[in-house]
Amino acid sequence: MQFRRSRLVWVLLALIVVLLLVAAGSAAAFFLLRPQDSVDTAWRDPVAAIAPEQVAPDLALYPLAGASELDTIDAAIGSDDVETAYAGLVLNTHLSDAQRLGRLILLGSAMLEVGVPDRAVPVYQQVYDLAMLSPWLSDSSRADALLAAGHGWRQVGNGEQALRAYDQVYLIAVGSPYLQMANRRSLLVALETAYGDVRDKERTARTRAKIVELDQQIGPLPPVEPGLRPELSSGEEVVSSPERGLLEDARRKPALDLLQYIAAQGQPDAGLVAVLAGALQAEDAAKAAFYGQALQEAAQPGRRIDIHRAMIRWLLTKYKVAVRGFGLSVVPGWEQDVAGIQSELSRAYQDLFFEYEDLVASLPDATLMVPARYQIQREALLEGRLGRYVNYPAQQWAEKLQATVQELVAAGGVDHLYVDVQAGEDGALSFSLSPAAEYGPPAP
């Protein structure tokens, strides 16, 4: 009996050892094989992320029928039609940077709520790029957008990108000369929580120390007045003619008929699609001729800029049709010539920024020339990152930007924080803010 009991004990001990080894192996496999936070910061074309088969044409077609693009995007977000909203945002033609940014943040949240976090990744990429590069945002709006991008990246499992966005918020909170003290402190308080959520004790402690330091200051420090900003043409002047207006009216009617038919029947009617295609092609031919003639007759850079921007707005609509961003095939010939339309867009943006260079050179106040170049270079890089300035020379624009910032820093600019560019091993560019005192030489 004693022998059998001893044998049983040894068998049980052996089983326990085996189970411990299996558990240890499972734990090791878990930690080795579990998905890690992505550190991929490579840029991806936002237009290529459009999912045409998931876009609802009975909603997406409304802007072609004359409705507001902003209202259409809001309606899509409100109804959780996230793919329709995404296609509308990426290739819209009339939204300001602030409007685009606000809707992208709402769209990212909606994508997380409906359970498609992977689709939110290009959205938060655009939020970050807008916050970094837009020359039209206040530092307060910029920081709020970066906080939203960080929260979004954290929720999709990319802690590295989240920290990257939070670190930019920290730079703005402690380095921007334009923030009120209360705003500066509220950003730091939000950051302390955010760093805690990603379990970064060092950053959390640093932020807490900065809050204490602010609280111990005697009297609030008033924000610095922004330096003089150049008044450059925004391209909002109407460039049209009665004939062009008639063509737009001729396109709106078949677009409305088609979307109403799809809403009622659940599928498009080939005849109505053909009518809309004909109207779009006629409008394209007329606008190409009109803008070409208008450029020949315009001498002032400001007027020429307005014409180029109007042309770009139309080409973006044409590009959207070509990539089926309205949710259906309308003009098959354009779909087969996407590369040609992309080349048109690239040339149009190139011509636009050439006109801006001429406008800057003619500014009556020479002290505004360098700030104006900085503004234009940021806008060019932003349009490229948003996928609109197709095949833009990213490295060339980045080098121009860094050289211009060097001039601003040397002249003692008041910004204190400037956009800097980093290139990865694969040549991919990423953007961040850099204090003037730490701004490096232009990249080779």
Domain boundaries, the chain: 47-215, 393-444
Output the pLDDT for position 232. 73
Q: Could you give phi then psi for residue 434, rounded to 5 degrees?
A: -135, 135
Residues 19-60: pLDDT tens digits?
334 344 443 333 333 333 333 457 899 999 999 999 999 999
The full DSSP string for 140-192 is: HHHHHHHHHHHHHHHHTT-HHHHHHHHHHHHHHHHH-TT--HHHHHHHHHHHH
Cα dist. 38→121, 124, 156, 158 in Å? Answer: 11, 14, 10, 5
Q: 138 versus 3: which is more confidently predicted?
A: 138
pLDDT at 14 over 50: no
* Cα separation, 344 vs 352, whole angstroms: 12
pLDDT band at 206 (very low <50, low <70, confident <90, very high): very high
Q: Which residues make Cβ contacts (< 8 Å) with residue 114, sequence separation at least 6?
A: 80, 82
Output the pLDDT for position 49. 96
Residues 319-342: pLDDT tens digits?
999 999 999 999 999 999 999 999
**261: its two tokens:** 């038919």
Question: In 3D, which of 283, 286, 279, 287 has the Cα closest to residue 258?
Answer: 279
Query: By percentage, how much of the chain surpasses pLDDT 90?
Result: 72
pLDDT at 7 over 70: no
* Cα separation, 428 vs 188, whole angstroms: 31
pLDDT at 163 over 90: yes
pTM metric for this prediction = 0.87
Q: What is the mean pLDDT of residues 412-439?
A: 86
Q: What is the mean pLDDT of residues 433-440?
A: 87
Output the pLDDT for position 412. 82
Do the Cβ atoms of 420 and 404 come closer than 8 Å? no
* Cα separation, 28 vs 26, whole angstroms: 5
* Cα separation, 258 vs 275, whole angstroms: 9
Output the pLDDT for position 416. 85
* Cα separation, 257 vs 255, whole angstroms: 5
Q: What is the mean pLDDT of residues 127-145?
A: 96
SS3 440: coil
CATH homologous superfamily for the domain 47-215: Tetratricopeptide repeat domain (1.25.40.10)
Output the pLDDT for position 114. 96
Do the Cβ atoms of 22 and 30 come closer than 8 Å? no
pLDDT band at 3 (very low <50, low <70, confident <90, very high): very low
pLDDT at 276 over 90: yes
**397: its two tokens:** 């624009």
Q: 37 versus 91: which is more confidently predicted?
A: 91
pLDDT band at 437 (very low <50, low <70, confident <90, very high): confident
* Cα separation, 279 vs 253, whole angstroms: 10
Q: What is the mean pLDDT of residues 278-295?
A: 95
Residues 348-374: pLDDT tens digits?
999 999 999 999 988 888 889 999 999
* Cα separation, 187 vs 170, whole angstroms: 8
* Cα separation, 401 vs 386, whole angstroms: 18
Do the Cβ atoms of 122 and 78 come closer than 8 Å? no
Q: Could you give phi then psi for residue 417, rounded to 5 degrees?
A: -120, 135
Q: What is the mean pLDDT of residues 213-239?
A: 69
Output the pLDDT for position 6. 41
Output the pLDDT for position 220. 63
Output the pLDDT for position 342. 97
pLDDT at 238 over 70: no
Task: Report the half-sphere exposure of 37 (CA within 13 A, side-chain side).
Answer: 13
Contacts 24+ apart (CB under 8 A), 158-165: 158/37, 158/38, 158/39, 158/121, 159/37, 159/198, 160/37, 160/38, 160/39, 161/38, 161/39, 161/41, 161/124, 161/128, 162/194, 162/198, 163/198, 163/200, 163/203, 164/41, 164/432, 165/128
What does DSSP assign to residue 10? H
Do the Cβ atoms of 435 and 171 come closer than 8 Å? yes
